C-alpha cells in the first residue's frame, strides 16, 4: 500500500516523516473558497474532502488530505491574504482562547475515513509592537489564524489544551493509529 499526501504543507510533510512514513506528494488543485460552511469542524472536513476529490489514487494507494482553521468568537480564520488580515487576526487572538480545528480525509477506491480534532489555544496579551513585528515577517501568511505554533508564533502561546500537532495542522497520533489499520 502506498501513501499519497495531498498537501503542499511543509509542516505536514515533516510530521509524517517524523514517524517514519514514506509517502508521495500530490498537490490538489481545488477551489477551497467554495466551502463556505460557518461551522469550523464541518468546514475543515469538507475542505479536506474537496482536496481528496480532485486527486486520483490507484488501487494500491491511500490519499491523505488535510485542512486547518482557527475559530474565535464564531469567526473562522484561515490564512491571512494581506498584512491587514494578519494584523486583525493576531489582535483578535491576543489575550484570549481560540480553537484550532484540523481534519484529515483518508481515501482509497474502497473507503473514506474522516479524522477530526480540535485544540484550545490561549494567547498572552500582545502589545501592538509585538503584533507589528510579527506581521512584518513571512511567518503569518501561510498559516491558519496567521501564526505558527511550531515557529516564532510559539512565544504568543500561554496554554494549549489537547493535541499540539492539531495546531500545527495534522492530528498526528490519530492519523498514525488510523494508518496502522491499513498496513502502514
Cα–Cα distance between 93 and 109 in angstroms, integer?
Answer: 40
Cα–Cα distance between 103 and 19 in angstroms, integer?
Answer: 19
Let me know if 142 is a catalytic residue. Answer: no
Residues whose CB is less than 8 angstroms from the CB of residue 138 and which lie 6 or more positions away in sequence, other chains included: none
Given the residues 59, 67, 110, 138, select the one marked as catalytic: 67
Helix (H) or strand (E) holding 45: helix 40-53
Residues whose CB is less than 8 angstroms from the CB of residue 134 and which lie 6 or more positions away in sequence, other chains included: 86, 90, 140, 147, 152, 153, 156
> Of 73, 69, 118, 77, which is closest to residue 97 (Cα–Cα)?
73
| Catalytic annotation, residues | 67
Amino acid at each position: 500500500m502506498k501513501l499519497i499526501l495531498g498537501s503542499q504543507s511543509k509542516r505536514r510533510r515533516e510530521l509524517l516523516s517524523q514517524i517514519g512514513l514514506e509517502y508521495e506528494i500530490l498537490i490538489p488543485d481545488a477551489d477551497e473558497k467554495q466551502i463556505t460552511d460557518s461551522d469550523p469542524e464541518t468546514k475543515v472536513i469538507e475542505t479536506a474532502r474537496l482536496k481528496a476529490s480532485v486527486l486520483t489514487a490507484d488501487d494500491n494507494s491511500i490519499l491523505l488530505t488535510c485542512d486547518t482553521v482557527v475559530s474565535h468568537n464564531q469567526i473562522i480564520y484561515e490564512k491571512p491574504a494581506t498584512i491587514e488580515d494578519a494584523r486583525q487576526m493576531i489582535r483578535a487572538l491576543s489575550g484570549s482562547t481560540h480553537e484550532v480545528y484540523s481534519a484529515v480525509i483518508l481515501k482509497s477506491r474502497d473507503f473514506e475515513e474522516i479524522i477530526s480534532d480540535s485544540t484550545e489555544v490561549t494567547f498572552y496579551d500582545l502589545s501592538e509592537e509585538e503584533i507589528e513585528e510579527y506581521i512584518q515577517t513571512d511567518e503569518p501568511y501561510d498559516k491558519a489564524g496567521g501564526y505558527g505554533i511550531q515557529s516564532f508564533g510559539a512565544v504568543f502561546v500561554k496554554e494549549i489544551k489537547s493535541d499540539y500537532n492539531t495546531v500545527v495542522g495534522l492530528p498526528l497520533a490519530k492519523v498514525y493509529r488510523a494508518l496502522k489499520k491499513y498496513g502502514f
